[in-house]
Structures are given as C-alpha cells and as structure tokens.
Amino acid sequence: MDSILGVRDRKAKIPHCKVGSKEMAGQAYCGVDVAKATLSACVLIGTAEKGKVKEFENGERGYQALMDWAKRVAGEATVRFCVEATGRYSWGVSEYLATTGEKLSVPNPARVKAYGVSAGILNKTDPADARTIAMFARALTQNAWRAPTPAERRLEELARRIEALERERQREKIRLQQPGLDKLVQRSIRRMQRTLEREIARFEEAVREHIAAQPEMKENERLLRSIPGIGEKTAWWFLATVRDVRAFPKAKAVMAYIGLSPCQHESGSSIRKRAHIGRTGGRMLRKVLYMAAKAAILHNALVREFGERLLAKGKPWKVVVVACMRKLATIAFGVCRTQTTFTCT
C-alpha cells in the first residue's frame, strides 16, 4: 500500500483537512476500487494513514459482504463510501449502496487520479487505488450520489447503444470511400450499412416507446421540444444525461456537469491562453447541443439575439456557437425545472 520510496506516500498531506479536527472525529471512509470481477476496499478511520484492506466479489453477495465488513471495521464511526466510476462495472455496487441508504459518492476518476498525484502516491495496484480513493473522500467534500431510476437507466442504455451504432455506421461509410475496393468487400460494407440502419431505427423506436410509457419523461420531452432548436435526439440526450434537473441547485451546476463550464488559463502577465470549456462529462450531449445551437441561432429569437450581440463584440464564430450551447442548455434546464413551456418574450 505504501509507495516504493515509502516516506512520500506515508506522510502525504491531506488538503482541506486538519489532522485531529472535530469534523473528522467519528468518521470512517471506505474507498472502493472496481475491477471486472473484484472490488478492492480500503477503510480509513478518522485521520489514520493506514487502513484495513480487503477484496470482494463484484456481485450482489460481494456488495453485502463489503458493506458489512466496512461497518465492522469502522466500529462506532459513521462510514462514508466512495466508489470508483468505471461505467457498467461500478453500477452494481454503487446502486446497491445507494438503495440501502449508505452515504455514497461516485467522483470523476480524473479528480481522484489528480489527487493521488498531488499526494505523492506512486504505487498503482488495486489496494493502493482503494486507499487513494478513501483519502480523496476524506480530503474533499463530495456530493451525495443519487442512483438513477430503472427508467432513467434504461433510457441511458438505449441512447448509448444508438450512439455506438451510429459510430459504426460512420466507420462503414468511411471504409466504402476507400479507392480500389474489391466488389465483394463493397457488397459486404453496404450490407452492413443496411443492417446498422435497421438497428438504429429499431432502437430509436424503442426510445420513443420508453419515453411515451413514462409520464414525467414524456412531459419533459414535450417541454424541451417546445424550445426552437431542440429536436428529438437533443431532448433524448438531455434527459439521459441530466436525468433529474431537481438534483441541481442552479443552471451553472448543470453546465459543470455536462462539461460546458468556461475554463480560463492565465498566469502573471505573460500567459494568456484561450479560454475553453471543461469537457468533464456529457460528450454526446455536447455533440447534439452543438448542432442544436446552430439551428437555434437561425430559428430561436432569444438565442439569435444573444449570438448577434457576441458577434458584434468581435467574438469568433465557434465561441459564439459554444456560448449559444450554454444558453440553450440553460433554457432547457429552466423549462424542465419550472415545468413551463418555452415562450420567447
């Protein structure tokens, strides 16, 4: 668990925490590193640098055993779980802990990795990663993770499958453009394209049926599509990515969540790099919002006026489009939060 050099890892300081502070008394932090078949857990109690480590099966029996073990190790301390986000492999344990009422966070893996580097942790093993996650949970306050409902989870899975099929369709289109292709290869590519088109159409219809069967989703889709510029697929991806707008205190939190927050890079008088967006999450939502913003600039009076003001200030076209993406996402957040149809006044 300690680094090869020893000293740096064991004595790594924890930012934002005072050793022995009252806030950390009576608290235990369980970091969970997720692999395909196993879960590596590390429990740190209070300000202790060394913790207990154990491995569990990545399955329902392992989830219960992990929870029982962590509470037993923590004793009277309150356990806060922090699970590594690894896509489908971490869904099971995260949803199990959330539905049983445990205090749980599922942070962005990039933040955990950056914390480990800053703390001087050099080892890269499952137990070491579990300890890093536990240290991260102790060092920085995390928002409680909310498990998606079965309807939200299914919408996300269907939307991601459509994305994967569309990527493969684009690859086949590029392959067909290669010069000098054998005729048998060309026929195979065209046959695959037809198959992909049918699969995409089938999954799109499945999404429509799924949303139609969920009254709240159906109403939110209607509200989103009342905004000029937002079409069917943009509404789907907004619902699949943001899920429940009530979980966000304000529109800026949604922008940060989907990776549309502006980031500046300046230092002293010499470094003045061009600002960019965060790109922290919601890649596919950003992609469809880009096209939606271009449509909104033409057909949505509110967005068009906003874009024209930016152009008048000399902003580059791409900067204007990204700003209009933020504007459009803010409007989408507003109509879903207030349950009010969009009207341009």
pLDDT tens column, 129-159: 999 999 999 998 878 888 899 999 999 999 9
pLDDT band, very low/low/confident/very high, at 26 (cuts 50, 70, 90): confident
Q: Tell me the pLDDT tens digit for each residue of 165-210.
A: 999 999 999 999 999 999 999 999 999 999 999 999 999 999 999 9
pLDDT in tens, 221-261: 999 999 999 999 999 999 999 999 998 889 998 998 888 87
Structure token pair of residue 345: 């006044």
Q: How far is it, in rounded angstroms, from Cα 199 to Cα 196?
A: 5
pLDDT of residue 17: 45
Q: Which of 117, 124, 132, 46 is nearest to 83 (CA)?
A: 132
pLDDT of residue 25: 60
93-109: pLDDT as tens digits: 999 999 999 999 998 88
C-alpha of 185 from chain center = 39
For the segment 278-282, the average pLDDT, to the nearest whole number, is 72
Our measurement of the distance from residue 157's CA atom to the centroid of its chain's CA atoms, rounded to an integer in Å, reads 14
Q: What is the DSSP string of 146-190?
A: -PPPHHHHHHHHHHHHHHHHHHHHHHHHHHHTSTT--HHHHHHHH
CA nearest neighbour of 159 among 291, 285, 331, 292? 285
User: What's the CA gap between 70 and 77, in Å, rounded?
Assistant: 10
Residue 2 confidence (pLDDT): 35
> pLDDT over 70 for what percent of the chain?
88
| Predicted pLDDT of residue 19 | 45
Q: How far is CA 169 from CA 83, 110, 159, 164, 206, in A?
A: 35, 30, 15, 9, 19
